[in-house]
Amino acid sequence: MLRRVNQNRLTIDVMKKVVLLLFTCGTFSLCGQPAQQEINKQVWEPFIKTFNEYDTKGFMAIHSKDAVRSPRDSKTVWSWDEYYKNQEQGDQQGKTSGSTRQLELRFTERIVNKDLAVDVGIYKTTSIRADGIARSFYGRFHVVLRKENGVWKILVDTDSSEGGSISEKDFLAATGMD
């Protein structure tokens, strides 16, 4: 009888530990989700909107003043001021040409803690010339984000076409913004 009571206690203890483990795992896997949703709202949604609208001021407002930008295909590294200048030149050229562009982002890795995050993914930029001819470009991006005064900002932004090897296939294999 005593043996049976001990087995029941052991079974209950094991069940409690399993429930606690499942709860803990579920909590940790969900912990990043509210922060990622916050990043989507504060960074990625306005990033896409302002990029597509050639809105340099709005686009750069999403970035930390400590931002470092490296378009790796051109083997360059820019400070925030250099990034702003280059973005503004590109935006003005797009406006003048009458072209439009559509940026789409998909993610392959998203890591977030209290005030730092890393997002890695594939972008697709479709340029539509004034005559209607469209062409899509793909690349892999790595972005480090930092929460500054309660708001997520881009701290490091790098991307590369990896020698033109990134394609629609890579884009579709990545995960949409959740």
**CA angle, 111 then 117 then 121, to 5°:** 65
Residue 67 lies in a domain: yes
Question: How many distinct structural domains can be found in the chain?
Answer: 1
Task: Answer whether residue 11 is part of any domain.
Answer: no
- 65 within domain boundaries: yes
Q: 140 lies in a domain?
A: yes
70: CATH: 3.10.450.50
The C-alpha angle 167, 172, 174, rounded to 5 degrees, equals: 100
Task: Give Cβ neighbours of residue 121 (< 8 Å, ≥ 6 apart).
Answer: 105, 106, 107, 108, 109, 140, 141, 174
Per the domain annotation, does 3 fall within a domain? no
Asked if residue 22 is part of any domain, the answer here is no
User: What is the reported pTM?
Assistant: 0.80
What are the CA-CA distances from residue 13 to residues 4, 27, 109 (Å)? Answer: 14, 21, 37
| 58: containing domain | 36-173
Task: Please report whether residue 155 resides in a domain.
Answer: yes
d(CA 122, CA 165): 12
> In this predicted model, what pLDDT tens digit does every residue of 115-151 receive, in sequence order?
999 999 999 999 999 999 999 999 999 999 999 999 9
* pLDDT tens column, 22-57: 333 333 344 457 999 999 999 999 999 999 999 999
113 domain-assigned? yes
